[in-house]
Amino acid sequence: MKALTRRERHRLMDVTIYEVAKRAGVSIATVSRALRGTGPVAARTREKVLQAVEELNFTPSRLGVSLAEGRHAANGIVFPDLAGPYYTEVLLGYEEVASELGRSVVILSTKGRTRVNDLVKDLAGRVDGMLIFGHTVPDPLVAELVRLGVRLVFISRDPLPGADTLRSENAGSAHALARHLTGHGYERFAFLGAPLTSRDDVDERWQGVRAALGGAIDAVDTRHYTVECGFEAAVKLLKGRGRPRAIVCSDDEVALGALLAAEELGLDVPGDVAVTGWDDIMAARHARPALTTVRQPMRELGARAARALDELITGVRDTPSNLILPTELVIRSSCGHHPQEART
């Protein structure tokens, strides 16, 4: 069997600008100008070109355009996982705005991946800039990306040179949440999460509630932010001596695990133990009791990230920005009984 000729392998070409030019009886430069609206083109010429384009059903090759233009017109996004609605919502907000700005979105999930660095570098070669969650990418690599000229926006991490950061407010809401719980008369608390890991948001939440509750709260490491880990840690915690009256969870999924744990042990929530989450994912509202939590503007975070990235890429702005978006305490029934219980 004969090997494929070069031409045959090329599925990308379809009809090229040369064919359009020939058909319209002009040069490829004119076709390009007519199509992009750069430089002057006589009305009659443009007409011919457009007609040829129409007849041949021509679409400029993205690769050719990108190579010549020196830009990809694409954004990347690096997230650990899409489990749970948090990243998903941010992603949607991001994609929507990126698309409006004429940029595609290339995704990369790092969960369970070896050689993340290579994957990130590959991604960097496909995009003009990227959004990175927290500390998903190691700092040295971040520095290298900056050096390479890849524009970066981070969500949920501490500011760093050469990149934008974006996060939602944590300390204030943590404080409000703690106050609400003490308002219920509770005195012993536990924080379920992993305040010492890299997910900076969680660290801030922990610091926030601790600042408000002082020695009345202890942290319990869940290792991961999943229902299962929340469940296991909560079972251990609720079985042990000195059971806390309220469990503040690092996020909703851990809280859902805690809810299951209480049920497993025959404990009433919030009668025996109160539970709160963070993020306000869909399941939080449907859990019984419904979960008191803190709502993050997840979609908004994504949308802002896309705009910020666009500013950096187009060069409209070159000084890094560090933005913090407000959050909102959502009181439901898992934290205690309220006089007039509002349906959320």
The residues of the shown chain that bind DNA, judged by CB under 7 A, are: 6-7, 10, 12-13, 16-18, 25-30, 32-33, 35-36, 38-45, 58-61, 63-65, 67-70
Cis omega (within 30 of 0) for bond into 270? yes
**Shortest distance, CB of residue 315 to DNA, whole angstroms?**
15
Q: Which of the residues 138 through 157 are near a copy of itself (CB under 8 A)?
A: 148-149
Q: Based on the number of CB atoms within 10 Å of its own CB, is 149 exposed (0-12), middle (13-18) or buried (19 or more)? A: exposed
Alpha carbon 281 to its chain centroid, in Å, reads 14
Q: 17 is in the binding site of which of DNA, a copy of itself, none (Cβ under 5 to 8 A by kind)?
A: DNA
Give the type of residue at 298. M
**Cα–Cα separations (whole angstroms), residue 57 to 17, 54, 60, 254, 301:** 11, 5, 10, 53, 39
Q: Which is nearer to DNA, 17 or 116 (CB)?
A: 17
**Shortest distance, CB of residue 56 to DNA, whole angstroms?**
11
Q: 41 is in the binding site of which of a copy of itself, DNA, none (Cβ under 5 to 8 A by kind)?
A: DNA
By three-state DSSP, how is residue 330 classified? strand
Torsion 21-27-29-31 (CA) sign: negative
Single residue of 236, 239, 286, 317 touching a copy of itself by CB under 8 A: 286
Q: 28 is in the binding site of which of DNA, a copy of itself, none (Cβ under 5 to 8 A by kind)?
A: DNA
Quote the CA–CA distance of 280 and 332 in Å, as a whole number.
11
Cα torsion at 309, 315, 319, 320 (round to 10°)?
10
Q: Which is nearer to a copy of itself, 123 or 308 (CB)?
A: 123
**Shortest distance, CB of residue 90 to a copy of itself, whole angstroms?**
10
Look up residue 160 and give its two tokens.
């760093």
Q: Which is nearer to DNA, 63 or 324 (CB)?
A: 63
Single residue of 32, 48, 128, 280 touching a copy of itself by CB under 8 A: 128
Q: 101 is in the binding site of which of a copy of itself, DNA, none (Cβ under 5 to 8 A by kind)?
A: none
* 109 interacts with a copy of itself by CB under 8 A: yes
Q: Which of the residues 227 through 256 are near a copy of itself (CB under 8 A)?
A: 227, 256
Q: Which is nearer to a copy of itself, 122 or 187 (CB)?
A: 122
Quote the CA–CA distance of 229 and 254 in Å, as a whole number.
7
Of 24-32, 103-111, 210-218, 324-332, the window that binds a copy of itself (rule: CB under 8 A) is: 103-111
**Shortest distance, CB of residue 49 to DNA, whole angstroms?**
9
**Cα–Cα separations (whole angstroms), residue 88 to 80, 183, 204:** 11, 34, 22
**Cα–Cα separations (whole angstroms), residue 77 to 106, 173, 225, 342:** 6, 27, 21, 38
**Vertex 62, ends 59 and 66: CA angle to 5°?**
140
Q: 211 is in the binding site of which of DNA, a copy of itself, none (Cβ under 5 to 8 A by kind)?
A: none
Residues 6+ apart with CB under 8 A from 118: none
Q: Which of the residues 25 through 84 are near a copy of itself (CB under 8 A)?
A: 59, 61-64, 66-67, 70-72, 74, 81-84
Q: 104 is in the binding site of which of DNA, a copy of itself, none (Cβ under 5 to 8 A by kind)?
A: a copy of itself
Q: 25 is in the binding site of which of a copy of itself, DNA, none (Cβ under 5 to 8 A by kind)?
A: DNA
DSSP class of 112: T
Residues 6+ apart with CB under 8 A from 66: 72, 73
Residues that bind a copy of itself (CB under 8 A): 9-14, 59, 61-64, 66-67, 70-72, 74, 81-85, 88, 91-92, 95-96, 99, 104-109, 111-113, 119, 121-123, 125-126, 128, 148-149, 227, 256, 259-260, 264, 282-283, 286-288, 343
